[in-house]
Amino acid sequence: MTPSRLDALSIGAQHPKFRELLAVRKDSVPGRILVEGNWEHSQLLTTPTIIDTFFYCPEEDQTGLAGEIAQRASEVYRISPKLLARVVRKSRSDGLISIARLPVWRSNEFRFDESSLILVADGVEYAGNLGTLIRTVDAARADCLVLTSRRARRSHPAVYAASRGLVLSTPVIEFDTIPSAATWLKEHGVDVHLADPSATGSYRVPQYRGKPTAFVVGSEGGGLSRHWHEQGFGAVSIPMLGQADSLNVALSAGILLFEARAHKDGW
């Protein structure tokens, strides 16, 4: 009888692979992300994502997914409930933890048309907001999320949860400088709108038709960098009708993207 991959080597705290797992948990391994739990792995298995290592705790698993995950993973290890407790971020992990590779998208791979939508996020500070922005881009059927001056990284485990796993399938590209991102948008003929609470023009005024459309949203604390304002793009605002002077960045992005999508698709 062929042995199951779940009959894998049982490892302890000093094993190099467990140390690597701890490093990924701390978001210190570029290009790798921690995936834990039943629902999260169900999402993972719907994508072609490479699973480098799968850690399995049979005492905690009641999902029936372990065998399928093990078949996809390059390496499989068993860990004890005690080791599992050291590494999990969730209150319930279902005994399933994986190190997965984040997909890589390059700016020269994109082609846009008049139906295209792009969200640019400048200086995103919090992993939860980054994940929610990724989820919002997917929900509005936007083409990609562009990051400039970012502080939060896609590899932070909280991004996976906040994006509902969509960090593995939603294109995200980064630019080292704001001028390089602006040049890329101009070269692709994109109509760019800066989201600025102080702008006098409402986001409801533009028709968002005939060209690809991009919105640029700023960081939670500092707003848009002045370097974006130096690129010659127009600005729009979402009117604040109460006492608050602004909205959460992901909520603002959702309002803007869905307004443009409605214009482009005619609904």
pLDDT (tens digit, 9 = 90+) per residue, 31-66? 999 999 999 999 999 999 999 999 999 998 777 899
Q: Indicate the range of 82-96, 166-180, 193-207, 241-255 predicted with least confidence.
A: 82-96
Are the beta carbons of 72 and 57 closer than 8 angstroms?
no
How confident is residue 1, by pLDDT bands cut at 50, 70 and 90?
very low
| Of the candidates 125, 147, 115, the residue with the CA atom closest to the CA atom of residue 134 | 147
Amino acid 2: pLDDT? 39
- Read off the pLDDT of each residue in 141-147 and give the average, rounded to a whole number: 98
Q: What is the rounded distance in angstroms from the CA atom of residue 110 to the CA atom of residue 106?
A: 8
218-222 contacts at long range (C-beta below 8 A, 24 or more positions apart): 218/122, 218/123, 218/249, 219/122, 219/123, 219/124, 219/125, 219/149, 219/151, 219/249, 220/124, 220/125, 220/126, 220/129, 220/248, 220/249, 221/125, 222/123
Give residue 91's pLDDT. 67
Give pLDDT, residue 64: 83
- CA 147 remoteness from chain centre: 11
If 0-12 CB within 10 Å is exposed, 13-18 middle and 19+ buried, where does residue 50 land? middle
Opening angle at CA 208, ends 264 and 189, nearest 5: 105
Strands lying side by side in the sheet with 144-148: 172-175, 144-148, 117-122, 213-217, 191-195, 234-236
> What is d(CA 182, CA 3) in angstroms, rounded to the nearest whole number?
55
CATH 3.30.1330.30 residue ranges for the chain: 9-101
Distance CA 1, CA 11 (A): 24
Entry pTM: 0.93
CATH number of 107-265: 3.40.1280.10
What pLDDT is recorded for position 144? 98
DSSP letters of 140-171? TT-SEEEEES--S-TTSHHHHHHTTTGGGTS-
Q: What is the mean pLDDT of the chain?
A: 93
Q: Can you tell me the distance from the alpha carbon of 172 to that of 158, in angstroms, rounded to the nearest whole number? A: 16
User: What's CA 203's distance to the chain center, in Å?
Assistant: 25
What is 9-101's CATH number? 3.30.1330.30
Cα–Cα distance for residue pair 260/258, rounded to 1 Å? 5
Domain with CATH 3.40.1280.10 in the chain: 107-265
Neighbours of 147 (CB within 10 A): 22
For the segment 243-263, the average pLDDT, to the nearest whole number, is 94
Instruction: Please state whether 98 falls in left (phi above 0), alpha (psi between -120 and 50) or beta.
Output: beta
